[in-house]
Structures are given as C-alpha cells and as structure tokens.
Structure 1
Amino acid sequence: YNYYGTHATANNDWNFFYPGSISGTFKWADAYINQIWLNANLQAANLQLLMSVGSIPYNADGYALLEAAAADPINAALDFGAIRTGVTLSESQIAQVRNAIGIDVSGSITAKGYYYFVKPATAQIRAARTSPSITFYYTDGGSIQKIELASIEIE
C-alpha cells in the first residue's frame, strides 16, 4: 500500500508519498516518471538533430552525432539524479548487457552512469534508410526512502 501523508516537526512540515511503489515493469513511481521524462527528452533531442543537420551518415561520424544529441538530456538526468554514477551492477545485470551488445561495458556504466550503444547499420537498414539499433543503458541506483536513526546519549 502507498499513502500520501503530512509529517511535521516543531518548525516544519512536509508532504510525502510513501513508499512510492507501483505495479508493472517498474517497481517505483520515481523510476517510472524518470524513464518517461528521459525518453521524451531523448526523442526531442533526436528530432532536433534531424532538423538541424542535412544528413546523418551510417558511420562512426553519424553515430557520434546521435550520441552528442543525447548529451543534454543525459547531463540533465545526471544532474537531477535520474541517472546515477557509481552503481555496481550485479553479475546477472552485467551478463544481460553483455549478451545484448556483445561486450562488457559494466565499467563504463558504473563510472558514467550510462552506456549509449549504436549497433552498426546493416545494408538492409541503410537501403531502407531506417534507424540503426540504438540502446541507452543507464543506472538509476534507487533512493533512500526511509531513515532510521538511533540517538544515544553517553554520559
């Protein structure tokens, strides 16, 4: 169960939604909302890129343009805390990413908080002029939702 409640001290009061759990793929409301925000801003950055350059080639230069376009939303997410650096991935998480893209990028994900992967386009993708496969892996890291503190006097 969740609740929305008011908490107060002698000098302050706050409103909280606790614990913030939701059903579905995402366990927590903040992670879900952050994902929506991130996807919307990455999409807007991609559209801005398409409108501002004459052509995006299917090569390293083009893929670098795609990643550069994502920099502002990524940096905003890092500043806000939607993406966290320093999160250690489990062996299972490392294996999932490695199996998906063929290399271990866990060090980069831990250090930067994310990994932007563009799979080189096949001849069929280039001929159809469709999007190369792009995957953005990032760490949320969670958030402390409850603080319990023992205050012990020593005389």
Structure 2
Amino acid sequence: GLQLGKVVQVIAIVLIPVAVGMAVRRRSADFAARADRPVRIFSIVVLVIVSVGALLGERENLADYMQQVGLVTGIFCLASLTLGYAGARLLRLDKRQAIASSMEVGIHNTTVALTIALSVLDSTEVAIPSAVYSVLMYVLATAFGYLITRRHSEPGTADRA
C-alpha cells in the first residue's frame, strides 16, 4: 500500500519550494523579480540534468523505451499544445494569450515526476516516460511555438481576433 513516509516526501518535494518562493516574494518582491530569470534557467538546467541522468541510467534500453513511449508522449505533447491554443482561441482570447495558454498547457512539470520516480520510488524505469516526455516536450514546444508565431506574424495578419 501507500506508505505515509513516501506521501510526506512527495508533499515536501512539491510544497517546500512553492512555500519558499511565496515567502521570498512576500518579503522582497524586488528580489523575487530579479531572481525570476536565474531561477527559471536553473530549473531548466536541473530538468536537463535529471532527464539526461535518467536516460543515461537506462541507455541500454533507451531505444526500446523510445519505441514504447516516444510516440505516445509526442502525441500527448502535441495534443496538449494544440488544445491549449485552440481552447484559448475558442474562448476568443487574442493570439498572444492563446500562444501563452498553449505553452502553459503543453509544458508539464516533468521535473516533479522525475524526482518522485527517482528519489521517492527509487525506480529509473518509472522515470523513463517522464524523461522521454521532457526531452520531446521542449523540442516540440519550440517547434510548435515557432510555427504558430511565424504563421501569425505574416504581413496582413491581425494580432487580435
């Protein structure tokens, strides 16, 4: 069954960083604003390191894992990006808001999934779908963002719907 210690560990992994961030922002909004970009960069670096580590840990099986979950994770990512964009447009949000919505919906927090799989569950195998998704997510989100911003910035295209 579910172990209380594991539940507490997962809660700590998620809530402690959020609580620290909220406390810092409340005490010093200026510092929080200045730290925003470096913290985001640091987060991406950590995600890349954890993802690469998970993939390298299973490099002998990597081709099999990509065969097993690559297509599904790619489809899920593209569907999330597309639904985020289309949903926002259906709600008559402007194109910039639709693009932001697309990225918010399409880019999932794989760092938490990887951390839970690797440290709490101690399972590299459970981490593989998240690791594959994290790699595909950034590639596909970048390509998707490029396509929709280029398509909407063509001459004669209005910025607002």
Q: Would you tell me which structure has more helix in proportion to its own residues? A: 2
**Fold agreement, TM-score > 0.5:** no
Q: TM-score w.r.t. structure 2 length?
A: 0.31
Q: TM-score w.r.t. structure 1 length?
A: 0.31
| Higher CA-based Rg | 1
> Comparing both chains, which one has the higher relative contact order based on Cα–Cα distances under 8 Å and sequence gaps of 6 or more?
2
